[in-house]
Amino acid sequence: MSVATPSGGTASGPSHARRIVLLRHAKADWSDTSDHDRPLAERGRKDAPAVGRMLARSGFSFDQALCSTASRTRETWKLAVSELPQRPRTVYEDRLYEASLGEIIALLNETPDDVRELLVIGHNPGVHGTADALAGEVEGDLLARMSRSGFPTSAFAVIEFTGSWKAVEHGVGRLTGFWTPHD
């Protein structure tokens, strides 16, 4: 399992170290509802708390969570956050549903600079594309592992960067962690 442990300290200015965790929602059921309203499948309801436990064990201290309004992302977040020692401020964002790489970067650019660690709960291909695009540097074989896995449901990638959220763009960060429920 490859997940970086957060460093201590606080961030209040634009030049501080920051962390983005990009989480793909847990496995969804294929029901007769609209895509936006699809609930989690049984496997998703088991994997989502495991994601929360892994995030908690890794020592993340999220200042904010940005979650798509789709049922499967909200349900993933509800089950995962119950495993965290502290609930971060949560923003449910319509624009994350089916968001492209460019749309996700635009949302990241809107993040307040008092946020040091941000969790984004979204959908593929946007989540995978964003992790891939932001990773200008990579620790070890993480990028190869992320590419081989195809960024499955309940997987998350950890990107670290220095600077303001307004400066987030292609290649700005370092991929320091990647985890799937199968790790």
Parse the chain into domains and list their residue ranges: 17-179
> Quick one: pLDDT at residue 9?
36
Catalytic residue among 16, 36, 83, 98: 98
> Quick one: pLDDT at residue 7?
39
In contact, 71 and 38? CB cutoff 8 Å = yes
> Quick one: pLDDT at residue 176?
96
> Quick one: pLDDT at residue 4?
44
Catalytic residue among 25, 123, 128, 160: 25
Q: Which residues are annotated as a binding site?
A: 72
Whether 128 sits among the annotated catalytic residues: the reply is no
Which of 141, 112, 182, 133 is closest to 22 using CA atoms? 133
> Model's pTM, two decimal places?
0.90
pLDDT along the chain (183 residues), means of 10: 42 68 97 92 97 96 98 98 97 97 97 97 97 92 88 97 96 95 83
Alpha carbon distance 67, 119 (integer Å): 8
Whether 139 sits among the annotated catalytic residues: the reply is no
> CA-based Rg of the chain, rounded to a whole angstrom?
15
Where in the chain does DSSP place strands (E)? 17-24, 64-68, 89-93, 117-122, 135-138, 156-162, 173-179
Domain 17-179, CATH? 3.40.50.1240
The backbone torsions φ and ψ at residue 89, rounded to the nearest 5 degrees and listed phi first, read -60, 135
